Structure 1
Amino acid sequence: MIKLDGKIFTHFDFILPFIVLPIIGFSFILINEANTVLAHKQILYITIGFMSFCVFFLLPIRKLEWLIPFFYWFCIGLLMLVDILGATKLGAKRWLEIPFTNFTIQPSEIFKPAFLLMLAYLIKINPPPAGGYKFKEFAKFSFYIILPFILIKSEPDLGSALIILIVGYVVLFLVGINYKIILTGILIIGILAPISPLIYNNLNDYQKKRIVDFLSEKPSYQVRQSMIAIGSGGVSGKSKDDATQTHFKFLPISTSDFIFAYTIERYGFIGACILLAGYLSLILHLLSLNRILKKDYFARVFTSGLAILIFIYVGVNISMTIGFAPVVGVPLPFFSYGGSSFVTFMVLFGIYENLLSFRFDPHYKLVKINL
């Protein structure tokens, strides 16, 4: 008789679904209220996401570590291919069409798991020495961080490129780099600050417009409508029929980029606090595992990178919603409508659970056979 070996759940992180599933359920309620057609599509994305989670949870990732560099460079190849064969939507060339189908893929989303795995792999085979990484090791890691930054920025997708850049260097900071490198980085930033107008001039027109809208006294139309929705929600929110900003289409992209504003319009300050508490619990929970995974650099780096990634996504999305950051297409993880981001994060959590569950199982037994 063959059955699933229950031992694989001995080290499974059961706190994770306890935090994430309510966020997904809360999101679906809002999307269904705003647009039932999108809600039906979201069911498909959720299904694909959970299937992806199961696949990556059951993969023998630690046995296949040697394939991670190949996966990384394959994704780099896809990013390069975007410049040649990429499909253009809304003025940006970020997608590749799958031959003989009507589907497209976004290589910058596929790259995120490859990037975190590559960082974890590199740090595992070259753990930080006493005193942290020196300039030689730091330069090597920087190559693997800056290369995708350049490729994704050229699509253009400055938001995703900056996320990759920030996640990479914050992970290195958490793992340990020499204090001289930190001081040098601060010095370089100070030197480059006066030439920021040159950087601004090299941006695309729509990127310049976002910065101008952000810095101007009068916010852009999207942000104004978002702030009206937030203000109208009050402490406890409004009923579905009274949430006029969303249902009369004043609030743009209310189910994806500006779903946080719709959340407050419906459930007020209390609803926003509950949602933020969920994300805060998730981030702190992931970071707390640094203590448990202290000697396991592979799992530790991946887990820390995942926590930082979620923190940046949540911080940027909410900041742009309330007018504290330029408007960029950064969704709320597990909350905004859409498939690419949802499936990507489910893949990331599948890898995370895999690295936790099988860290003490060198033989990787998935099933038990009883004769």
Structure 2
Amino acid sequence: MRRIDRRILAHFDFVIPALIVPLVLVSGWLIGEIHPLLAHKHLVYVGVGAVVFTFFFFLPVRRLSWMIPIFYWFNIGLLLAVEFFGHARLGAKRWIELPFVHFTMQPSELMKPAFILMLAYLVSRNPPPYGGYGWAAFLKLSFYILLPFFLIAKEPDLGTATVLLLLGVGVLFLVGVRWKIWLTLAVGFIVSMPLIYTQLHDYQKKRITDFMSEKPSYHVQQSIIAIGSGGVVGKAKEEATQTQMKFLPIASSDFIFAYVVERFGFMGAVLLIGLYALIIIHLLGISLYTHDPYIKVVSASVSLLIFVYMSVNIAMTIGLAPVVGVPLPMFSYGGSSFVNFMILFGMLENLMAFRFTELYHRRGKKSFV
């Protein structure tokens, strides 16, 4: 009978699933309280996420690294196809319908793992010298960051585009870029802010205007009321009137944090944010203490992605950021975001567990499984 190679289990990071599982369980429970039908669909998404995690964990990422540029450019092609063949919804053209099956897909979501793998591939082929990357290497890496940013922003989907931009900049900062470059970019960004504002769509300007106004929008008002009504320890399900009486909009996805606080109060919010903090710190620790460029970039990317999503979502619900469609990572209802995170975690676990090259090239010997 074939057995699992013990060296794989020795290098598997059990801390990651130990921190993720509580998020998934609690989110499924709360979504069931808000809308039982959505809870059943969410359970399907969790099952799909578990399958893709397993698939990407056993996928030999390093051995197939030559395919990463192909995967990246394929997704760039999908983003370009959105411009010509995409379906528009609510004024945005972000989806492509697959022929014969009448199923729509959002290429910007598929771009996230391709984007992260491409950065890891480029850094592994050209590691930063002592003192960090200079202008030549920085501009080359920036091309691969800015290309999907502009294509996604044109859909328009400025939220996802900005997340990718922040992700790319954050990875380069952690990997190492000379400080003079960062100073030049910071000054250039500040000077060009008025020009950037003029290029925004009207609805994007309205979001900023609503955010800057003294009175928050209806969505944010109801969210703040729900958060305030939770008190220190929260309320029972029947007493959480903001959600149960449908005053709180999009309670199962964009504003699920408000429901968490209404149900479990300030203490519940602290515990949830603390759990995210543990995940982020753990992943950053992996990135900072490894010399493997693939592990460094992927773990840093996942950490930054969780931090940006969590920060923006929570700030949005309490009126400290404009309302954008950014989910609470692995907590909000929805399949694409959750499955994407499972893909990334599966690849990261693969890179750590199969980190030794000889494990990929054993022939005629005991199999891994």
Q: What corresponds to 1:32 in structure 2?
A: 32
SS at match of 1:4: coil
Shift of 1:369: 5.5
Which residue does 2:103 correspond to in 1?
103
Could you tell me which residue of structure 1 aligns to residue 271 of structure 2? 274
Give the match for residue 225 of structure 2.
228
Matches of 2:22 and 2:133, distance apart in 1: 40
Residue 104 of structure 1: SS of its match in structure 2?
strand
Deviates more, 1:3-12 or 1:275-284: 3-12
Asked if the contact 1:233/1:265 (under 8 Å) is kept, the reply is: yes
1:79 aligned partner: 79
1: distance between equivalents of 2:16 and 2:124? 24
- Tell me the amino acid that sits aligned with residue 44 of structure 1: V
Q: CA deviation at 1:361?
A: 4.2
Q: Distance in 2 between matches of 1:180 and 1:305?
A: 23
More deviation, 280-289/169-178: 169-178
Amino acid paired to 1:137: A
Aligned partner of 1:263 in structure 2 is 260
Q: Which runs of 5 or more residues in structure 2 are unaligned?
A: none
Secondary structure at the residue paired with 2:94?
strand
Q: Return the letter of the residue paired with 1:267.
A: F
- Structure 2 Cα separation of the partners of residues 160 and 71 of structure 1: 19
1:363 equivalent in alignment to 2:359: yes
Amino acid at match of 1:119: L
For 1:307-326, list aligned pairs within 5 A. Answer: 307-326=303-322
In structure 1, stretches of 5+ residues that fail to align are: none
CA distance in 2, matches of 1:223, 1:319: 10
1:153/1:161 contact within 8 Å kept: yes
- TM superposition shift of 1:301: 1.1
Which of 339, 354, 359 is matched with 2:350 structurally? Answer: 354
Q: CA deviation at 1:279?
A: 0.2
Conserved 8 A contact 1:230-1:262: yes
Cα deviation for residue 305 of structure 1 reads 1.1
Distance in 2 between residues matched to 1:166 and 1:258, nearest whole Å: 23
Q: Which whole-Å CA distance do the structure 2 matches of 1:88 and 1:222 have between them? A: 24
What is the rounded CA distance, in whole Å, between the counterparts of 2:324 and 2:258 in structure 1?
15
Matched, 1:336 2:336: no
Q: How far 1:292 sits from its partner (Å)?
A: 3.2
Per-residue deviation at 1:183? 1.8
DSSP 3-state at the match of 2:99: coil
> Match for 1:85: what amino acid?
F
**Greater Cα shift, 100-109 or 47-56:** 100-109
Kindly indicate whether residue 133 of structure 2 is the aligned counterpart of residue 133 of structure 1. yes
Q: In 2, Cα distance between the equivalents of 1:345 and 1:308? A: 12
For 1:206, the equivalent position in structure 2 comes to 203
Shift, 1:363, TM fit: 3.0
Kept after mapping to 2: 8 A contact 1:303/1:352: yes
What is the CA distance between 1:55 and its match in structure 2?
A: 0.5
The match for 1:237 is 234
For 2:164 and 2:288, the matched residues in 1 are separated by 24
Q: CA deviation at 1:185?
A: 1.2
- Counterparts of 1:106-117 in structure 2, within 5 Å, are 106-117=106-117
Counterparts of 2:187 and 2:152, CA distance in 1 = 26
1:142-291 mapped onto 2 (5 Å cutoff) = 142-193=142-193, 196=194, 198-291=195-288
CA shift for structure 1 position 113: 0.5
Which letter maps to 2:366? K
CA distance in 1, matches of 2:157, 2:125: 31
Q: Among the aligned pairs, what percent are the same residue?
A: 56
Q: CA deviation at 1:322?
A: 0.4
Aligned-residue Cα RMSD (Å) equals 1.5
SS across alignment from 2:50: helix
Instruction: Give the letter for the 2:232 counterpart.
Output: V
Query: What is the rounded CA distance, in whole Å, between the counterparts of 1:345 and 1:7 in structure 2?
Result: 25
Matched, 1:22 2:22: yes
One-letter identity of the residue aligned with 1:57: F
1:66 aligns with 2:63: no
Deviates more, 1:89-98 or 1:307-316: 89-98
